[in-house]
Amino acid sequence: INILKMSDKKEEKKTQVEDEEMEEMTPKTKKKRVHEKLLAKIKAKKSKNRLIVDDATKDDNSCIALNPDTMEDLGLFRGDTVKLIGKKRNDTIAICLSDDTCEKGKVKMNRCIRNNLRLKLLDIVVVKNFGDVKFGKRVGILPIDDTI
């Protein structure tokens, strides 16, 4: 009889938790939970250079913004060139700037950079120092094959 009572209590707790989850599932709370899970995943891996993508306030296609503490952890300075690695190993380079409004563990980037990396908001991107980048000697702008 005791065993049956224990299982009944467990089932009641499960249904209570499920009811609470169903009531709270609005789009905002759902987004918060996804965000919290991503932060927990990053903290669990303890990989400093894996950051969550956030929308940039400035509209610059060549710059990303990081929290000054995050920059210090990664060994980056203001104006350094960084390599960003997105989904399916797509990569691009950008200039790193500090931003006090950016949260720790996040990187603010423009929509254009996100499209190049095939990323969406709240995806994870890898940020690495790229060192010195040489200046280009010439630029070639060619039409797309479909338009010819």
What are 9-36's pLDDT values in tens digits? 555 555 554 445 555 567 777 777 887 8
DSSP-assigned states of every residue in 8-46: HHHHHHHHHHHHHHHHH--HHHHHHHHHHHHHHHHHHHT
CA 49 remoteness from chain centre: 10
State how far the alpha carbon of 71 is from the alpha carbons of 21, 121, 133, in Å. Answer: 37, 20, 19
Rounded distance between C-alpha atoms, residue 105 and residue 127, angstroms: 11
Contacts of 34 (CB under 8 A, 6+ apart): 122
pLDDT surpassing 90 at residue 82: yes
pTM: 0.64
64, 109 Cβ separation under 8 angstroms? yes
**What is the band of 47 on the pLDDT scale with cuts at 50, 70, 90?**
confident
Q: Which of 9, 101, 105, 1 is nearest to 48 (CA)?
A: 105
- CA atoms 44, 31, 51, 87: torsion sign: positive
pLDDT of residue 87: 85
Q: Note whether 52 and 124 are within 8 A (CB).
A: yes
* Residue 66 CB coordination number (10 Å): 26
Q: For residues 96 and 78, is the Cβ–Cβ distance under 8 A?
A: yes
